[in-house]
A and B are shown apart, each in its own frame.
Chain A
Amino acid sequence: MSNIFRTYLISLCPLIYILFISLFSKNIINPLSYLIISSGHIIVIFLILIIIVPLLNSSLKIIDRRSLGLVTFGYAVFHLLLYMIDNSFDFNFLVYEILHLSYIQIGYIGVLLFIPLVFTSNDNIKKRLGDKWAIIHKLIYIIILVSFIHYYLIIKADYYLISLYILIFIMVFFLKTMRHLK
């Protein structure tokens, strides 16, 4: 099995799981809200995984980083689509939220920042861009920070899980910088 196929297969499992739960679990009382929240968590976890992959030994590199990035973008679009469905695609209301609510603005920014990465994720363009490609793809760090802010802005009181995500992110970032300096 190729790494690409394996990556798509594994990374789509959470989607199937949350769709299944939201449709069939009798304990999910507000399925749309459940889907929005759980897809958000999947996105944050995948974003962190994307920066962890290069740290793994080559024998552990069973995940194709590019595919994981594309799937994560897919989840982000899904997350945005769910939010729009949640508001019945009411154009005026969606515009009102963009104009007035910062967590919504930041959410859109996150999706937009992803777009240059998606369009430069093929071998031809990568070759053509040369050194610039690596610089563009540093955007992933900005996207991670943006997603943390977006998440932080809707928490009412319980910062436990977001602290855990941020802690892992800092550890990975630290490890990567250490490797770079060697």
Chain B
Amino acid sequence: MTNKYDIDKENSITDEFYFLNRRKIMASILSVPILTQTSMVSSKEQNLFFTKDLDYSTNEETNTFKQITSYNNFYELGTGKKDPMLNANKLSTKNWKLTIDGLVDNPIVLDLEDLTKKFPLEERIYRLRCVEAWSMVVPWIGFELQKIINIVKPLQKAKYVAFESILDPDNLPGQKRKILNWPYREGLRIDEASNPLTLLSVGLYGKILPNQNGSPVRLIVPWKYGFKSIKSIVRISFVESEPLCTWNEQTPNEYGFYSNVNPYVNHPRWSQKRERRIGEFGKRDTLMFNGYSKFVSNLYEGMDLKKNF
């Protein structure tokens, strides 16, 4: 006679894998219709393969994913700090092409797959200091811009690198008004662009870069104010003379071409001596070149940084 309470027999036990993951399995079944509609969201969940850099990364505590993805200046998606997160789906990265041209031997066009596969990726944990006197520590995934410079081989004449961001006023809510002279543009001197700190980032916290952080590819120049680190880049051009930079064009006496983090040069309207590290209560002192002096101070030897702000 079988005992009807004898439910612990080997063959009636739910497999441990299914038992432990029962909620995830139910959730994935329920979410199938949603995921197929927004396949872009699921592709952003993709894990990237990368190595951890130890030469340039800080060992400071990183800000959380939530903080890094909910407090952004990305005027194309709105001027409020939360707007880029709320409007993130308005930026479409499908069929993205990054053109690298200008005064080079070998112009190239990179597509989405190239951006994450063509170059070995590494994680760089950098401080980011916004011109608005707040800062974060961010684990970017990317590769040195130098790698691209090596491939395209700039000509002798090329002295600067110009960057251009996406222009899509039909879909990007911030570009429906002329808040800035769209598209957003930025520039570096070629030696700044070749510095090993200078990164093209395609990921964050091991995954594809969220739209509000400048997907699919953005610049990271950690010793300069955040606005120099242009997001969602479509074109990188090697040029002879100093390229146009959007904030410099907007208010030339406030945002210089260099815009190196410098606690001794105030923004004309507010102080740059201190910063709030997001998540901390008090403010901390801002460091020269955002604490990257030993890597970059040689780039500016003999220059008056008060004049060349």
Contacts and interface: CB of A to CB of B under 8 A. Distances in A.
Interface of A: 26-27, 29-30, 32-33, 86-88, 93, 96-97, 100-103, 153-154, 156-158, 160
Interface residues of B, number: 28
A100 B70 contact: no
A27 B75 contact: no
Interface string B66-79: 11001100010001
B71 A103 contact: no
A160 B173 CA distance: 14
Contacts of A93: 273-274
Interface stretch (B1-9, B159-167, B263-271, B301-309): B263-271
B81 A158 contact: no
15 contacts: A26-B66, A27-B85, A29-B66, A29-B71, A29-B279, A30-B81, A32-B276, A33-B276, A96-B271, A101-B271, A153-B269, A157-B75, A157-B179, A158-B79, A158-B179
Given A88-B282, A158-B179, A160-B177, A30 B270 contact: no
B235 interface: no
A166 to B, nearest CB: 17
A93 B270 CA distance: 12
The B interface, classified by DSSP as helix, strand, loop or mixed, is loop
Contacts of A100: 266, 271
A29 B179 CA distance: 24
A46 B232 CA distance: 40
A88 B283 contact: yes
Contacts of B134: 30, 33
B112 interface: no
A30 B283 contact: no
B271 A158 contact: no
Contacts of B274: 87, 93
Given A97-B271, A101-B270, A157 B180 contact: yes
Nearest to A88: B282
Nearest to A153: B269
B82 interface: yes
B271 A27 contact: no
B250 interface: yes
